[in-house]
Amino acid sequence: MDKNQTLKIFCVTYNLHGLSPTEKEVSDLFDNYKNYDLYVIGTQECLRSILKSIFIADKKPWEDLLQNYFKKYNLIQLKSVTLGPIHLIIFIKKELIKDKTNIRFIGCNSIKTGFYGYIPNKGANYIWFQLFNIKFLFINCHLCAFKNKHSIRIQHFNTITNNINIKNYNQMFNTLNIYKGWDAINKFNVCVFLGDFNSRSEISLEDSKNLPFDKGIKSEILPFDQWNNSIEKGEIKMGNFKENKIEFEPSYKVENISGYKYKIDNEDHIPSYTDRIFYNINLNNYKCENYSSLSEMSFSDHKPVILSITLNI
């Protein structure tokens, strides 16, 4: 890689609501976001419902769709990992790894959090690798649902972050020590933690139905976000992870149309910021920008949430 070259990364988390996207929907998702070097795509409830995915986890149709799309732009699949309904896949520009020595130590793993760690209905999967001299870790999660299960969400998050296990850690970091959990996370130059965190809004059902939807409800909903409020109270320890300022409307629970129309029919369907992207970057020169949801997508009861990262090498 030439001196002063940039590495552009596009991250997206998308709960697909158990549905199977078409070529058009894949194009709608990525056509406005071309010319990136890495695409990190985390999905939840991919292709099938959570229950069906426990028994049939295969994501080949989804991976084939993505491969057919990205090959037009000279990108290839670097790695993928599946845990029940949770799927993480990374695409990379061919030219970056034309020299095989540029990419090393590629690996993946998963952590179950459903029913005391026995069922893969919830949890996280993650991929790590070294590109040039930069060590990357990408984590995709789907935490416990429902408004009244926030304490369990926190437990799931702690289970994930305390049990990150990099199988080839010794070789990757050239050490005799083996680090896990937060110790391992903090050793990476770039770590992105995305997914459906299922954080809900503590606003009442009655008040939520009277929100000024025509003007936007971001400022009305954000003060009631469970995740942010628990971070402020010290109930959730995010370490060095950061989140860009949220400037978009709640990504859940939306009607399957373009724009933000919400289906508010019970306490668990109050508009919420369920879909999030956090990052921990230990490099001097980088930018994390374009943190937003894609309002025009009309495929699921969630909107995809994206974040672009530029690293100056």
Question: What is the band of 118 on the pLDDT scale with cuts at 50, 70, 90?
Answer: confident
pLDDT digits (tens, 9 = 90+) for 245-290: 999 999 999 999 999 999 999 999 999 999 999 999 999 999 999 9
Cα separation, 198 vs 269, whole angstroms = 11
Q: Where is average pLDDT lowest: 112-121, 127-136, 279-288?
A: 112-121
How many domains are there within the chain? 1
Cα separation, 62 vs 41, whole angstroms = 11
Taking residues 140-150, what's their average pLDDT?
97
pLDDT at 58 exceeding the cut of 70: yes
CATH no. for residue 74? Answer: 3.60.10.10
Cα separation, 156 vs 266, whole angstroms = 24
User: How large a percentage of the chain has pLDDT more than 70?
Assistant: 99
Look at 118 and 228; give whichever has higher pLDDT. 228
Cα separation, 13 vs 8, whole angstroms = 17
**Per-residue confidence (pLDDT) for residue 2, from 0 to 100:** 53
Nearest Cα residue to 295 out of 287, 304, 286: 304
**Per-residue confidence (pLDDT) for residue 223, from 0 to 100:** 97
**Per-residue confidence (pLDDT) for residue 119, from 0 to 100:** 92
What is the reported pTM? 0.96
The tokens for 65 are 């769709």
Cα separation, 181 vs 233, whole angstroms = 22
Average pLDDT, the chain: 96
Q: Is residue 41 part of a domain?
A: yes
pLDDT at 201 exceeding the cut of 80: yes
Q: Is residue 234 part of a domain?
A: yes
pLDDT at 113 exceeding the cut of 60: yes
Q: Is residue 1 part of a domain?
A: no
Question: What is the band of 313 on the pLDDT scale with cuts at 50, 70, 90?
Answer: confident
Cα separation, 81 vs 108, whole angstroms = 7
Domain that holds residue 171: 6-312
Q: Is residue 73 part of a domain?
A: yes
Q: Is residue 275 part of a domain?
A: yes
**Count of CA atoms in the C-beta half-sphere (13 A) of 18:** 9
Question: What is the band of 296 on the pLDDT scale with cuts at 50, 70, 90?
Answer: very high
**Per-residue confidence (pLDDT) for residue 117, from 0 to 100:** 84
pLDDT digits (tens, 9 = 90+) for 66-112: 999 999 999 999 999 999 999 999 999 999 999 999 999 999 999 99
Within the chain, strands assigned E span 6-15, 38-44, 75-83, 86-93, 103-114, 119-131, 134-142, 190-196, 275-281, 286-293, 305-312
Q: Is residue 106 part of a domain?
A: yes
Q: Is residue 96 part of a domain?
A: yes
**Per-residue confidence (pLDDT) for residue 115, from 0 to 100:** 86
Question: What is the band of 44 on the pLDDT scale with cuts at 50, 70, 90?
Answer: very high
Distant-in-sequence, close-in-space partners of 291: CB < 8 Å, separation ≥ 6 = 243, 244, 245, 246, 247, 248, 277, 305, 306, 307
User: Which DSSP letter does residue 177 get?
Assistant: -
